[in-house]
Amino acid sequence: MGKSRLNPITNKYYMNYILFDGPARNALLPFTFTRPVADILIGIMTIRQKWEMHLGSTTTTLTEEYLSDKYPMVELEENVMINASFLPNAVLVEMVSNLEPNQVIFKGEEVVAFYTDENQEEVDFDSYEIIEYREDCLTVMNTWDIFSKNDAAIREDFEFLTADRKSKPIPKSVNVLGHENIFIEEGAKLEFVTLNASSGPIYIGKDTEIMEGAVIRGPFALCEGAVVKMGAKVYGATTVGPHSRIGGELNNSVISAYSNKGHDGFLGNSVLGEWCNIGADSNNSNLKNNYEEVKLWSYETESFAKTGLQFCGLMMGDHSKCGINTMFNTGTVIGVSANIFGSGFPRNFVPSFSWGGAAGFTTYITKKAFETARLVMGRRNVDFDEKEAAILEHVFEESKKWRKE
């Protein structure tokens, strides 16, 4: 256990902030199979990046043991623990920054943040001073929150990231509505595209590219190094993560880093993890024929859960892929490292490391899955190292019970 560092300006110790997974972790599978809750992308940044920018401080993570090699926790003499399901805002950040020993912030029944020190054997909130947080705030408690709250998250992040900053100029060839709601970072390339920010802000990140003929309606976030391909149609409340590529038709979806949906086909009300690939002309349904509420597979209850949503599409875990012309039914959940192909609708829940489609599945053995991951990541100059392999090996074992082996 390390010592807290003294801030020479304020003569106070820097606070050590730790983001913990909290009770929603299992409800956020398959995305939290391979990352802490804090590293979920929603809006323009991950939850961790939001907290770090708001607090002006780095954070570490309290998560599942098998993830802790990649996402370690640093504990010092004094620490503030923050529930990563809560997204920061000005009021909440001030309350967290001002936490004193033996204080805890609650919102209703949920713990938001609490102060702890190295001498505490255990944390007993009965002995804490309880501070109530009564304002509204964004939370990520279920997988579908990631896309359904993405509109609000993009607006909040846009306001925070662009405050008192000047956008790069919008090129003359770009058709624009609502130019005051458009922010372009350094190195972005875009010509002969249409940007309509009258319904929400459009954020175009560093070293991104929007190819000719793309039509984009806000709110929209294109993160660093990402690409929108020629003729793409984006209807808003959509985030394209760092170094990802999109094409075709998208509506209200969040695509995490290093994933590709580069061709024609529809993706709506959906979330893709990292290192996913959607084959050309693949489509997902986001609305049932009878217009009823969509149910989605829950890893927590091991049954289909009510989402309260009429529109809900595809949830796809990291490293999963589908072949050309794949069809996904309304409310489909795909685990980690699944490979889907063939005609017809695969079932609404495809466990991790499954290989096949509507005709049936076999197990996608880790040796083959790792070979593919190594090639896919190598193309983007990212190492598939022992930490990554150990995480996926754990997921393979943990997900055995859902595969018919």
Contact (CB, 8 A) for 182 and 204: yes
Q: How far apart are CA 160 and CA 182, in angstroms?
A: 14
Please, is 304 exposed, middle or buried when counting C-beta atoms within 10 Å of its C-beta (0-12, 13-18, 19+)? middle
H/E segment holding residue 50: helix 47-55
- Which of 140, 22, 142 has its CA nearest to residue 82? 22
> Which residues in 125-261 belong to E strands, given as ranges?
129-132, 175-177, 182-184, 189-190, 194-196, 202-204, 209-210, 215-217, 220-222, 227-228, 233-234, 238-240, 245-246, 249-251, 254-255, 260-261
Q: Which residues contact 120 (CB under 8 A, 6 or more apart)?
A: none
Residue with structure tokens 């495809």?
A: 350
Question: Could you state, in order of their start, the residue ranges of all structural domains in the chain?
Answer: 6-141, 142-274, 291-405
CA distance 230 to 142: 33
Best CATH choice for the domain 6-141 from the list 1.10.10.10, 3.20.20.220, 2.60.40.10, 3.90.550.10: 3.90.550.10
Q: Which residue has the tokens 């984006």?
A: 234
Helices first, then strands: H and E counts in the chain: 6, 39
How many CB atoms are located within 10 Å of the residue 120 CB? 12
Cβ atoms of 137 and 152 within 8 Å: the answer is no
Q: 349-401, pLDDT tens digit by residue?
A: 999 999 999 999 999 999 999 999 999 999 999 999 999 999 999 999 999 99
Closest residue by Cα to residue 316 from 355, 275, 280, 376 = 275
Give the closest residue to 239 by CA, choosing from 265, 207, 210, 203.
203
**Which stretches in the chain have pLDDT values below 50?**
1-3, 7-11
Compute the 3-state secondary structure of the chain and give helix, strand, coil in percent, each to the nearest 5.
20, 30, 50
> What's the CATH number for 142-274?
2.160.10.10
CB 314 within 8 A of CB 335: no
Residue 37 CA to residue 135 CA, distance in Å, equals 22
Q: Looking at 149-292, list the stretches that DSSP marks H as alpha helix, in order from N- to C-terminal side.
A: 150-162
73/63 Cα distance (integer angstroms): 8
pLDDT of residue 1: 40
Q: Torsion angle, CA of 138/142/147/150, rounded to 10 degrees?
A: 10
396 contact partners, CB below 8 Å, separation of at least 6: 337, 352, 353, 366, 369
Query: How many CB atoms sit inside 10 A of residue 372's CB?
Result: 16
Compute how many other C-beta atoms are within 10 angstroms of the C-beta atom of residue 383.
10
Reported as a single tens digit per residue, the pLDDT across 76-89 is 889 999 999 999 99
Residue 150 DSSP label: H
Contact between residue 62 and residue 81 where contact means Cβ atoms under 8 Å apart:
yes
Domain 6-141 and domain 142-274, same fold? Reply is no
- CA atoms of 148 and 34, how far apart (whole Å): 22
Report helix, strand or coil for 167: coil
